[in-house]
Each structure stands twice: as structure tokens, then as C-alpha cells.
Amino acid sequence: MGRALELAERGRGTTSPNPMVGCVLAQGDEIVGEGWHQRAGEPHAEVLALRSAGTRGRGATAYVTLEPCDHQGRTPPCSEALISAGVARVVVATLDPDARVAGRGLERLRAAGIEVTLGVLEDEARVHNAAYLTQRRTGRPWVRYKTAMTLDGKIATRTGRSRWITGVESRALVQRWRHEHDVVAVGVTTVLRDDPMLTARVADGRTPHKLVFDSVARTPVQAALFEADAYGVRARVTIATGPGAPAARVAALRERGATLLQSDDGRGRPSVQQTLAWLAEAGALSLLLEGGGTLAWSFAEAQAIDRVAWFVAPKLLGGGGASPLGGLGVATMDEALTLERTEVRRVGEDLLVEGDLRYPAWVVEAAAQTESAAQTDGAANTAGSAGADGGAAAVAAAPAAPAAAGSTAAPAHISSTTAPAPTGSTTAPAHIGSTTAAPAVEGED
Ligand SMILES: NC(=O)c1ccc[n+]([C@@H]2O[C@H](COP(=O)([O-])OP(=O)(O)OC[C@H]3O[C@@H](n4cnc5c(N)ncnc54)[C@H](OP(=O)(O)O)[C@@H]3O)[C@@H](O)[C@H]2O)c1
């Protein structure tokens, strides 16, 4: 199973909206076939491993990192492929929570007389596929919050500059993460101050879909994030606005090719939960939140940060500049957010502290209340709740996503910059994903 996980890992950054999966076929101690899922629309890991094993697949044990699928997508069910090949035993690391699988893949194998073992290296498999499992379980993308601060806790100078806090090695790692995530998100103040491109300067990498939280559509049409990257690829840009975004600004951004998603967090800003639910419905599994601290606090309040990546640079700036987590802050130490599965390492001259975020009761309760309020609003509002840009709706009523948090409508199409969503479209959400030379795929499998 360790080898199967290693193979699955090769698909990081290219399989979305599908999960990463690896498969090894063995006869006793001898590996007779290997495969991993490389890209949505292409064969699944089990099929590739069976192909490479040929007739030696008969009677073999298959080690698979995720429960084999049991539904016909763009490729046939893997459960049937394993049965037809005559494997004797299937060892699986973790169940697939997708409503179309959810134990059915294993049931079908057992019904065909195949011995099934579940839970081998399950914790490792869950960490490895956290994005897919979180999206299926919660109805929002898995979120990594990356921030870079000085030793005295500042993310920018007193004039609002943050280039560069970290060294070249840390920045290269962030570029890699951009390639691996489906969406990269920032607050509008970061756009106005830093004018970032948000591209992944990784050879053969992809530039993720870019998302700006911007209540009143202040993102300049000449912002660098609209530009093509070093490989000539122009990424899709989405602006999440609040209810009061002026129609003229919205129209200008649509004209520039952005998709506008409008929602209301009750404070005149776009709702983090609603926006994330829409992104998940459009196929996004993972989001790299790059700040600043004001937006990060809203994500934390919505219980929508899964893992943090905190770079600490050996520099001191002084003053009272922006911090990695803004908002009101907590009153007592009991109310602190804490980290689990914490790792600390050096990256060049910087320190990197990573951990899974654990939320205190006050956040859990507040986030649940916001979600139920959004559901009530949504029920009263149905399709209209996702309207955008002063009349030219970029979103339309859509089927409820599996376990979507408070979502009542979905973006009909998260469009590319060259093909904005048609007004009033009712097509299913398109995949948010690769913007490399390969065209974005529609749907899974
Ligand atoms: N070192 C680093 O890692 C790093 C990373 C990023 C940024 N920075 C620095 O951080 C500074 C900016 O940070 P910041 O905290 O002031 O701003 P920010 O988080 O980039 O943007 C905050 C703004 O986003 C808008 N927004 C829209 N929806 C929101 C929501 N639901 N919740 C919260 N905000 C929402 C709000 O403006 P509207 O109401 O007008 O929409 C808000 O004022 C810059 O100086 C930048 O250079 C540093």
C-alpha cells in the first residue's frame, strides 16, 4: 500500500476534480502491475495496473489507495474491471465518500467472491487525499492558508509592502502549491497593495483559478492577475462581491473576462461559506488562501481553513502593520484556535510551521449559525440568491450539491476569461481546474 500511495502522489495537481489514486497488483511478494490516475478523463489507477499486469492480474492481490469506483463515468466502473480480471483479493486504504460509491464498490467486489480488506494505511491515505475527501464530506474545497510573516509578526511594512518577506526557496514552494491547488484566493486589499499575478511559475505546472474577495468590485481591470503567465496561459478570474457592488464596476470586470459571484455575509461582504460552496459545485477540490489577514480571519470564523502554512522570516519590521490573522481576535486563551499534526522545518533562511487547524466551540457554533441562516435565506430566495453583476447573471439555479454547506444555487459556469458564462445559463457547473495547455475538462472521471 505504501507503494500504491507513492504512485497516487504522482497525480497531485493534475487529477482534479477526481481524487488521486494508486494501485499495485502483487502475486505474493512480487509486484506484477502498477498504475496511478493521471488526469480526469483518463483511465483509473486500477485499469492501468491491470493493463500492465496482463494475464498475471488473475489471482493477484490489488492494493488500492481509495475504494474502487462503482459507477459509469467517462470510464467504466473499476469494481467491474477488477472482477473481470479475476483478482483474488482487494486491499483498500480508505472508503470513497462520494454518494455514487460510498461502500458500493466494496460490496460489489465481495458479492463477486473477492476477499476485501479495508483500512490499510488509512490515516496516510486520508492525509494524502484530504482535498477530495474534505470536498465530498463538507461541500467546500479543502483550504490551506499560507502566510509569510516576520519574526515580529508582520505581513507587510508600514507602507503596506510585503515583497519579499520570505526568501527564494519559500517562494518557490508557494509556486509549487499554486500548481497543486485548484483555486488561489486573496482579499482585494492585497490586490490593491501588491498587484500579485498569482501564477504558478512551475515548469509543466498549471496556473490555478484566481479568486478575489471584493465587496464593491474595486479590483482594477488592469490588475496583473488578469495577465497571461510566463507560459502564455491566461487563468480564469472570479470576483466574489457583496450585495452592494456597483453595476458599472461589475460590468467592467465582466468585460475584462472575470466571472462575478455575488453573495452577502450579512455585513455587506461576500459570504465565505456560500462562495466556497459554489466553487465546490463547480468542481474545485482545493483552495490556497494567500491572505491578507482580514480575509483569513473571515475564513477562520467560517471554520473554512483546514491547514495552515506559516512562514516565519528572520526579519523585524516594527510598527503596527497588518498581521496574519486580523478581525476582532479572541478575548481569552481558551478561545484560541490551535494546531494539530504540527510540523516545523527550515526552508532556506525561513522557518515553516504547518498544522491542521482545530476550532474552539465559539467558532463551531458561530459557523453553524451562519450556515443555517444562509439556508433559510436561500430557501426564501432560490435561484435569485446567486445573482451577479446588476442584471447579467453569471449564475443560475443548479441541482443541490452533495452535502453542500448552505448552498442553494451554483455558478452555472465558472468561465474562462475568454468565454464568460452565458446569461441565464442552466448548464451544470464546469470543472475548475487546469489552465495549462490542456483544456479544462468538464465533469469527473
Ligand atoms: N506576507 C504575506 O503572506 C501577505 C499575504 C497577503 C497580503 N499581505 C499584505 O497584507 C496586506 C493586506 O492585508 P489585509 O488584511 O489588509 O487585507 P486583505 O485580507 O488582503 O483584504 C481585505 C479586504 O477584502 C475585502 N473582503 C471581501 N470580502 C471579505 C470577507 N468576507 N471577509 C474579509 N474581507 C473581505 C474587504 O474589503 P472590501 O470590503 O472593500 O471588499 C477587506 O477589507 C497588504 O499590505 C499585503 O501586502 C501579506
Q: What is the tens place of the pLDDT at every residue in 396-412? A: 222 222 222 223 333 43
Ligand 1 atom having least distance to the Cα of 272: 31
pLDDT at 343 over 90: yes
Q: For residue 366, how far is its CA from the centre of ligand 1 (angstroms)? A: 22
- Cβ of 292 closer than 6 Å to ligand 1, yes or no, is yes
pLDDT at residue 445 in the model = 58
More confident residue, 440 or 177: 177
pLDDT at residue 427 in the model = 27
Grid coordinates of 179: 500548481
Average pLDDT, the chain: 84
> Tens digits of per-residue pLDDT, 74-99?
667 888 899 999 999 999 999 999 88
Residue with cell 502483487: 26
Question: Which amino acid residue places its CA nearest to atom 35 of ligand 1?
Answer: 295
Instruction: Say if residues 170 and 348 touch (Cβ distance below 8 Å).
Output: yes
- Cβ of 148 closer than 6 Å to ligand 1, yes or no, is yes
Rounded distance, CA 193 to CA 176, Å? 23
Q: For residue 289, how far is its CA from the centre of ligand 1 (angstroms)? A: 11
The DSSP bridge pattern shows strands 237-241 and 259-262 to be: parallel
Q: For residue 295, how far is its CA from the centre of ligand 1 (angstroms)? A: 5
The DSSP bridge pattern shows strands 350-358 and 338-347 to be: antiparallel
Q: For residue 369, how far is its CA from the centre of ligand 1 (angstroms)? A: 24
Mean pLDDT value of segment 318-328? 91
Could you give phi then psi for residue 286, rounded to 5 degrees? -145, 150
- Cβ of 36 closer than 6 Å to ligand 1, yes or no, is no
> Tens digits of per-residue pLDDT, 54-75?
999 999 999 999 999 887 776 6
- Cβ of 290 closer than 6 Å to ligand 1, yes or no, is yes
- Cβ of 187 closer than 6 Å to ligand 1, yes or no, is yes
Torsion angle of the four alpha carbons 168, 171, 175, 176, in this order, in degrees rounded to the nearest 10: 80
pLDDT at residue 133 in the model = 96
CA distances from 283 to 18, 100, 235, 338, 419 (A): 9, 16, 16, 29, 18
pLDDT at residue 377 in the model = 63
pLDDT at residue 103 in the model = 83
pLDDT at residue 206 in the model = 83
Rounded distance, CA 408 to CA 322, Å? 35
pLDDT at 393 over 60: no
Could you give phi then psi for residue 55, rounded to 5 degrees? -70, -15
Question: Which amino acid residue places its CA nearest to atom 24 of ligand 1?
Answer: 187
Mean pLDDT value of segment 184-211? 91
pLDDT at residue 254 in the model = 97
Give the predicted TM-score (pTM) of the model: 0.86
Q: State the pLDDT confidence band at 292, using cuts at 50, 70 and 90.
A: very high
- Cβ of 14 closer than 6 Å to ligand 1, yes or no, is no
Question: Which amino acid residue places its CA nearest to atom 19 of ligand 1?
Answer: 292
Give the active site residue among 46, 180, 281, 301: 46
Ligand 1 atom having least distance to the Cα of 190: 20
- Cβ of 293 closer than 6 Å to ligand 1, yes or no, is yes
Residue type, 365: E
- Lowest average pLDDT, out of 161-175, 266-280, 405-419, goes to 405-419
pLDDT at 275 over 50: yes
Q: For residue 37, how far is its CA from the centre of ligand 1 (angstroms)? A: 37
pLDDT at residue 381 in the model = 43
- Cβ of 302 closer than 6 Å to ligand 1, yes or no, is no
Question: Which amino acid residue places its CA nearest to atom 7 of ligand 1?
Answer: 292
Q: State the pLDDT confidence band at 378, using cuts at 50, 70 and 90.
A: low
Known catalytic residue at 46? yes
Residue type, 245: A
- Cβ of 215 closer than 6 Å to ligand 1, yes or no, is yes
The DSSP bridge pattern shows strands 142-150 and 286-289 to be: parallel
- Lowest average pLDDT, out of 71-80, 181-190, 355-364, goes to 71-80
Q: For residue 294, how far is its CA from the centre of ligand 1 (angstroms)? A: 5
- Cβ of 188 closer than 6 Å to ligand 1, yes or no, is yes
Rounded distance, CA 104 to CA 325, Å? 43
Percent of the chain with pLDDT over 90: 69
Ligand 1 atom having least distance to the Cα of 160: 45
Residue type, 79: S
Ligand 1 atom having least distance to the Cα of 291: 6
